[in-house]
């Protein structure tokens, strides 16, 4: 019988409060992730819409600049102290001698969007991480445990070899799977059947022409053919009618009848069949339609809006997911890593009109604060303005009279500002 002391002792260990895996069965719990991965990777190489979406996502995600900062309680990110040199940055920028940092992140993000999870393995020299290698998620199998939750991972190589891996040497990034807490689930899994339909439609279109643009038919004979007669008939038919060049040739059959069972392109609704998966794939990724070039009214305004939507809804959420994992599990493995944090540059495209409005607002606010008696240098820092040397207010020039005879505002404003500043010096 389990004692209270035993329960308390288990509570002090790094273990799961409830069993996430059964106590019976094999140690290495097999999943269907392998077959899902194969189908997703095949679709990526054969369905143009899927390739375009994943490629644009990874192409926008991977090159984003990352920086290392000292942890601080200051909420203003601009006032953080950046760490320009650190072992983490060395590995992050060149994970291994065959990949740059951009290539590494692009490969990992491809897996994440195609199968809902990505893995990379940490290579150590003693206790120091010196390399990182991405691996195919469908080759990784969790070693589940009802008490410890996860004991490690087993990587199964192309030749069938199995490599056990410790949990501390494996980093997993995933989109949570509600049916399996150990694995991820991505948008591709939700449209796998539609992706298959798109691939089969393309193959049907190809075979339509390969078969002489007249697929589907039966040669009916009035007796049983000998093997040599059957083989001769097949050779002659293929030679005379198979292929685009032989399309629509008249068939001459001896003691045989042709029974037509073909479907036309119109019967198959081929265009509609290929269009439907395209929309379903785009919706699964919540991908902006304008970014695929499929809108008829493309102009500069909605193209720029599409880029902003892409950054806000696609790139930034993925960067935040990586940031959390890096700062929680990867960075603490490096020297002084617990006191540091990694962060990325904002990938949102610059909106020049909005930027000009913000600058005008900042300048106006700074002017009002200086006139109210605050020090110009403090005002510049508070308003986020660049450092500028103070040379004093220029001497006011006589203002030109307006049409109604009043003096202009430039001279009075400058004089007032000069008096305020001079009085506060």
Q: What is the 3-state secondary structure (H, E, C) of 318-335?
A: HHHHHHHHHHHHHHHHCC
List CB contacts of 16: < 8 A, sequence separation 6 or more. 146, 147, 148, 149
- Angle between helix 48-61 and 101-115 (nearest 10): 140
For the cut 90, the answer to whether the pLDDT of residue 252 exceeds it is no
Verify that 153 and 208 share a domain, yes or no.
Answer: no
Reported in sequence order, the residue ranges of 114-200 that DSSP labels E, i.e. its strands, are: 117-125, 128-135, 140-145, 149-156, 162-166, 170-174
Check whether residue 55 and residue 85 sit in a common domain.
Answer: yes
Residue 322 CA neighbour count, 13 Å, CB half? 24
Does the pLDDT of residue 374 top 90, yes or no? no
Are 408 and 399 contacting, i.e. CB atoms less than 8 angstroms apart?
yes
Q: Provide mean pLDDT across the span 208-223.
A: 59
Q: H-type helices in 165-249, by residue range?
A: 187-190, 192-210, 227-241
Boundary of a domain, candidates 170, 190, 210: 190
Confirm whether pTM is higher than 0.85: no
Question: Would you tell me the crossing angle of helices 33-44 and 48-61 to the nearest 10 degrees?
Answer: 90
Confidence of residue 108 (pLDDT cuts 50, 70, 90): very high
Which is more confidently placed, 378 or 51?
51
CA 29 – CA 143 distance, rounded (Å): 7
**In degrees, to the nearest 5, what angle opens at C-alpha 19 toward C-alphas 18 and 23?**
150
Q: How far apart are CA 425 and CA 420, in angstroms?
A: 9
pLDDT tens per residue across span 130-147: 999 999 999 999 999 888
Q: Determine the 3-state secondary structure of 123 from DSSP.
A: strand
Asked if the model's pLDDT at residue 415 lies above 50, the reply is no
Asked whether the CA dihedral 41, 47, 50, 55 is positive or negative, the reply is: positive
State both tokens at 303. Answer: 């193209």
Domain assignment present for residue 343? The answer is no
Among 2-11, 115-124, 362-371, the minimum mean pLDDT is found in: 2-11
Burial of 342 (0-12, 13-18, 19+ CB in 10 A): buried
pLDDT at 61: 96
One domain for residues 153 and 233:
no
pLDDT band at 53 (very low <50, low <70, confident <90, very high): very high
Predicted pLDDT at 126: 92
Is 213 found in the same domain as 136? no
Tell me what the pLDDT averaged over the chain comes to.
77
pLDDT of residue 321: 97
CA 120 to chain centre: 16
Whether 212 and 161 share a structural domain:
no
Query: Which residue pairs from 69-76 have beta carbons closer than 8 angstroms and sit at least 24 positions apart in sequence?
Result: 69/340, 69/341, 69/342, 69/343, 70/339, 70/340, 71/339, 71/340, 71/341
Q: Is the pLDDT at 292 greater than 80, yes or no?
A: no
pLDDT at residue 49, as a whole number: 86
Does 346 map to a domain?
no
Q: Higher confidence at residue 329 or residue 387?
A: 329
Better-predicted residue by pLDDT, 246 or 20: 20
Is the confidence at residue 15, as pLDDT, over 80? no
Q: Which domain holds residue 23?
A: 14-190
Is 94 among the domain residues? yes
**What does the alpha-carbon distance between residue 103 and residue 398 come to, in Å, rounded to a whole number?**
63
Of the residues 190, 210, 237, the one at which a domain ends: 190
Helix (H), strand (E), coil (C) string for 40-56: HHHHHCCCHHHHHHHHH
Q: Are residues 236 and 99 in the same domain?
A: no
Token match 């969790």: residue? 142
Whether the pLDDT of residue 278 is over 90: the answer is no
Residues 100 and 167 in one domain: yes
Q: CB count, 10 Å around CB of 251?
A: 12
Counting beta carbons within 10 angstroms of the beta carbon of residue 266, is it exposed (0 to 12), middle (13 to 18) or buried (19 or more)?
Answer: exposed
pLDDT (average), residues 228-252: 63
Query: With 70 as the cut, is the pLDDT of residue 116 above it?
Result: yes
Predicted pLDDT of residue 1: 43
The residue among 177, 140, 161, 121 whose CA lies nearest residue 30 is: 140
Other CB atoms within 10 A of residue 17 CB = 9
- Cα torsion at 79, 84, 89, 94 (round to 10°)? 130
The answer to whether residues 127 and 213 belong to one domain is no
Domain boundary, last residue among 271, 289, 322: 271
Assigned domain for 395 exists: yes
d(CA 93, CA 132): 11
Residue 293 is assigned to a structural domain of this protein:
no
182 and 197 together in one domain: no
């Amino acid at each position: 019988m389990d004692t209270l002391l035993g329960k308390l002792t288990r509570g002090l260990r790094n273990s799961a409060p409830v069993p996430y895996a059964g106590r019976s069965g094999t140690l290495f719990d097999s999943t269907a992730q392998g077959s899902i991965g194969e189908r997703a990777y095949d679709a990526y190489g054969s369905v143009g819409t899927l390739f375009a979406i994943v490629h644009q996502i990874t192409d926008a995600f991977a090159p984003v600049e990352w920086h290392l900062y000292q942890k601080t309680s200051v909420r203003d990110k601009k006032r953080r102290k950046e760490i320009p040199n650190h072992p983490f940055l060395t590995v992050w920028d060149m994970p291994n001698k065959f990949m740059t940092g951009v290539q590494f992140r692009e490969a990992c993000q491809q897996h994440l969007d195609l199968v809902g999870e990505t893995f990379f393995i940490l290579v150590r020299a003693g206790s120091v991480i010196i390399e990182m290698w991405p691996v195919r998620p469908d080759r990784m199998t969790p070693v589940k445990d009802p008490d410890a939750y996860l004991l490690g991972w087993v990587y199964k190589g192309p030749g069938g070899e199995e490599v056990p891996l410790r949990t501390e040497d494996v980093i997993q990034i995933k989109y949570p799977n509600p049916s399996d807490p150990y694995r991820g689930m991505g948008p591709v899994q939700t449209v796998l059947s539609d992706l298959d339909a798109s691939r089969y439609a393309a193959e049907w279109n190809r075979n339509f022409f390969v078969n002489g643009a007249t697929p589907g038919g039966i040669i009916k004979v009035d007796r049983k053919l000998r093997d040599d007669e059957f083989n001769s008939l097949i050779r002659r038919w293929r030679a005379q009618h198979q292929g685009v060049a032989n399309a629509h040739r008249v068939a001459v059959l001896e003691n045989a009848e042709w029974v037509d069972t073909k479907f036309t392109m119109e019967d198959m609704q081929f265009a509609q069949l290929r269009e439907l998966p395209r929309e379903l794939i785009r919706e699964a990724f919540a991908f902006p339609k304008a970014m695929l070039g499929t809108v008829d009214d493309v102009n500069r305004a909605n193209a720029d809006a599409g880029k902003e939507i892409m950054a806000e809804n696609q790139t930034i959420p993925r960067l935040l997911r990586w940031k959390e994992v890096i700062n929680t599990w990867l960075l603490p493995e490096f020297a002084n890593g617990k006191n540091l944090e990694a962060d990325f540059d904002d990938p949102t495209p610059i909106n020049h009109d909005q930027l000009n409005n913000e600058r005008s607002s900042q300048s106006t606010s700074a002017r009002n604060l200086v006139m109210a008696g605050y020090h110009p240098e403090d005002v510049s820092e508070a308003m986020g303005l660049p450092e500028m040397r103070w040379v004093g207010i220029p001497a006011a020039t006589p203002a030109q009279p307006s049409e109604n005879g009043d003096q202009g505002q430039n001279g009075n404003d400058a004089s007032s500002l000069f008096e305020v500043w001079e009085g506060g010096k």
